[in-house]
A and B are shown apart, each in its own frame.
Chain A
Amino acid sequence: MQPVISFLGAVVGYFDPVIDNIGLFADAFLHTLEIVVYAAVGSLALGTVVAAFRVSPVSPLRWVGTSWVTVFRNCPLTVVLFFCAFGLPEIGINGAYFWFGVTGLVLYTSAFVSEAVRSGINSVSAGQAEAARAIGLTFRQSMGQVVFPQAFRTVVPPLGSVIIAMIKNSAIVGAFGVGNELFSVHATLVSARGLALIPVLLGVAAGYLIITLTGGALLGVLERKVAIAR
């Protein structure tokens, strides 16, 4: 028994840098959670709008939608965030770095959301839209009341993956002036205060795993709820 206890003691001791600063970790965890909640809501909304643009009869809107997806899907997130933090102020848009970080995540993620939603729209059988038109619904009505509600069910799994990817991507925003988020904890504790890096980094990793694994589990439940036999 003795060796087991001393082994456990050593393990706990190893994570002292995390345990001693658990308040800092908790703060940063909540802050990251805040960022990803805003970014999730924003990117779902914006991505849906962009998807609507891409199937719109107005050709400039389609063009905007396509370019939007091409640009933000193919550009590294770091570069997108850079333009939010340093480009927006240059064109006269000032704001808190927190919101610039969220904006960057929203812009980048909206492209992936739009792709998922669009393939969802394409998965709704043509008869549905035709029937909607046959009973005289306008484009907006048929999209809003017939196509989108059905499309959203098919897109729950891919959208979930997109949002979980966004949560992981949020680890980069700390490099662009967004303070006190989870990944930056390692810089504060390790570089400036000289604590051991690896336990701190494992603590940070655990924080992200809590969010992503919980998110994944919730997503599984949601998937089963909305699953429909077609």
Chain B
Amino acid sequence: MSTPVLYDNPGPRSRRRIAVASVITGIGLLAAVTLVLVQLYQRGELSEAKWGPLVNPYNPLFAAAWTGLLQALARNVYAAALAMVLSLAVGTMLALTRITSAAWYRWAVVGFIELFRGLPVVIAIFLAYRILPELGVELPRVWYLVIGLTAYNSVVIAEIVRSGVASLPRGQAEAASSIGLTRGQSLRLVQLPQAFRVMLPALISQLVVVFKDTSLGFIILFPEVLSFAGIAIQSLDNPLQLYFVIAVIFITINYLLSRLAVYVERRVSRARPTSPTPAGAAPHTEPQPLAGTSTTGG
């Protein structure tokens, strides 16, 4: 969208007005930032003692702080990867069996989906952590987090897969059945491989959600990055600073993931000039199939 549709290309007078508004906004922003910084400075939150261990490589605590932080972060990444793979498998299975199976089974799946869509993900994680051992299933702690995240995300992914398959032109399934493929074969060999391409951006967005949610691992004592922070601030005495660094790390990684999603989106839609839209979506929604499921956060 190079020329704005919402307003005219500004003439000289509006250009002046816009310039004035820009300057005022800019000054307002600067003032706000300055005010915050002054406050923080006065409370000693900008001191070397608080920031040094995190930003100054010569600080004696720097190495230990970052070793701990990166080790913990690696556990978030690990848990997110496991949860994503598992959610993808379970979600696809839910979606496919829902498309193909008997009515009572479809209802059971819909029930499962509605249940876990309505449940906070912390409760899903907590239930996995507390109920599975009661049932005699004892696992390394990371798996309770992964199972909780999977219960929650697989139902979202099931929806993504379902509408991905539904978005394909009918001719694909018809052609498959006309050459004698069963419904299962047609799904597996013809529809799914194409649907996955369309779904890829939505799946990457979901990965952002999963990654953010791994930070809830602290609730079940999984030693991820926020658990680390809770312990480290007792030694470093700089909660604001440490959380700031953690926020920057999460924002950077997730921002890059979203850029990747946009890039993939472009590639996919370039490859298929008539990019299909998910069933039921308005024909001109922007490249973001399933807005709402994929962008609602965790």
A–B proximity contact (CB within 8 A) = yes
Q: Which residues of A contact B (CB under 8 A)?
A: 55, 57-61, 64, 70-71, 73-79, 82-83, 86-87, 90-92, 108-109, 112, 115-116, 119, 121-123, 125-126, 129-130, 133, 139, 142-143, 147, 154, 157-162, 164-165, 168-172, 183, 186, 197-198, 201, 204-205, 208-209, 212-213, 216, 230
Q: At the interface, yes or no: B18 with Cβ under 8 Å from chain A?
A: yes
Q: Which of A70, A125, A205 contacts B251 (CB 8 A)?
A: A70
Across the interface, which residues of A come within 8 angstroms of B118, CB to CB? Answer: 164, 168, 208-209, 212-213, 216
Question: Using a CB-CB cutoff of 8 Å, which residues 195-251 of chain B contact chain A?
Answer: 208, 212-213, 215-216, 218, 226, 239-240, 243, 246-247, 250-251
Q: Are B296 and A161 in contact (CB under 8 A)?
A: yes
A70-B255 in contact (CB<8A): yes
Please count the residue pairs between chain A and chain B whose beta carbons lie under 8 angstroms apart in the complex.
183
Q: Which residue of A lies closest to B36 (CB)?
A: A91
Q: Which residues of B contact A230 (CB under 8 A)?
A: 282
Q: Does B171 interact with chain A (Cβ within 8 Å)?
A: no
A59 to chain B, nearest CB (A): 6
> Which residue numbers of B lie inside 8 Å of A, CB to CB?
1, 4-8, 10, 14, 18, 21-22, 25-26, 29, 35-36, 39-40, 43, 45, 114-115, 117-123, 126-127, 130-131, 134, 208, 212-213, 215-216, 218, 226, 239-240, 243, 246-247, 250-251, 253-255, 258, 282, 284-286, 288, 291-293, 295-298
9 inter-chain pairs at a CB distance below 8 angstroms, sorted by A residue, are A60-B22, A74-B253, A75-B250, A77-B298, A90-B40, A91-B39, A119-B285, A123-B282, A164-B296
Q: Is the CB of A142 within 8 A of B122?
A: no
Q: Is the CB of A58 within 8 A of B121?
A: no
Q: Which of A90, A133, A147, A204 contacts B8 (CB 8 A)?
A: A133
- In whole Å, how far is B172's beta carbon from the nearest beta carbon of chain A? 26
A162: chain B residues at CB < 8 Å are 292, 295-297
Chain A residues within an 8 Å CB radius of B29: 60, 64
Cβ of B122 and Cβ of A183 under 8 Å apart?
yes
Please judge, given known A-B contacts A147-B6, A198-B130, A201-B130, whether A208 and B215 are in contact too, CB under 8 Å. no
Task: Find chain A residues with CB under 8 A from B240 CB.
Answer: 83, 86-87, 90
User: Which chain B residue lies CB-closest to A202?
Assistant: B127
A205 and B39 form a contact (CB under 8 A) = no
Q: Are A76 and B215 neighbours in the complex by a CB distance under 8 Å?
A: yes
- A90–B241 CA distance with the chains assembled, in angstroms: 12
Given contacts A70-B251, A130-B5, contact A205 B246 (CB under 8 A): no
Q: Is the Cβ of B122 less than 8 Å from the Cβ of A171?
A: yes
Give the shortest distance, in Å, between B41 (CB) and chain A (any CB).
11
Closest A residue to B293 by beta carbon equals A161
Interface contact B226-A78, CB-CB below 8 Å = yes
Q: Report the bound CA distance from A86 to B5 in whole Å.
A: 42
B-side contacts of A109, CB under 8 Å: 297
Whether A168 contacts B39 by the Cβ 8 Å rule is: no
What B residues does A165 contact at CB under 8 A? 296-298
Q: Does A122 contact B39, Cβ atoms closer than 8 Å? A: no
Cβ–Cβ < 8 Å partners of B6 in chain A: 55, 121, 129, 139, 142-143, 147
**Which residue of B131, B247, B254 is within 8 Å of A198 (Cβ)?**
B131
| B292 x A64 contact (CB < 8 A) | no
Residues in A with CB closer than 8 Å to B36 are: 91
Please indicate the chain B residues that have their CB under 8 angstroms from the CB of A172 in the complex.
120, 122, 216
Contact of B215 among A55, A73, A79, A92 (CB under 8 A): A79
Contact A129 B5 (CB under 8 A): yes
Q: A79-B246, A161-B293, A168-B118 are in contact. Are A90 and B45 (CB under 8 A)?
A: yes
In contact, A125 and B284 (Cβ under 8 angstroms)? yes
The 5 closest A-B pairs by CB, nearest first: A161-B292, A74-B254, A158-B292, A165-B296, A212-B118
Least Cβ–Cβ distance between B293 and chain A, in angstroms: 6
Q: Assess the B285–A60 pair: CB atoms within 8 A.
A: no
Q: Is the CB of B286 within 8 A of A74?
A: no
B292 touches A157 (CB 8 A): yes
Instruction: Give the residue of B134, B218, B295 whose beta carbon is less than 8 angstroms from that of A116.
Output: B295
Q: Please name the residue on chain B nearest to A53 by beta carbon.
A: B25
B258 and A123 contact, CB distance less than 8 A: no
Contact present for A154 and B297 (CB under 8 Å) = no
B246: nearest chain-A partner, CB-CB: A79
Contacts A60-B29, A74-B254, A121-B6 given; does A208 touch B286 at CB 8 Å:
no
What B residues does A213 contact at CB under 8 A?
114, 118
Nearest residue, chain B, Cβ from A213: B118
**Known A60-B26, A79-B215; contact A74-B251, beta-carbon cutoff 8 A:** yes
Q: In the complex the two chains form, what is the Cα distance from A164 to B117 in whole Å? A: 9
CA distance A160 to B285 in the complex (A): 16
- Smallest CB separation, B64 vs chain A (Å): 22
A222 to B156, CA, bound (A): 22
Given contacts A57-B10, A119-B288, A164-B118, 4 further A-B contacts (CB under 8 A): A55-B4, A122-B286, A123-B286, A159-B292
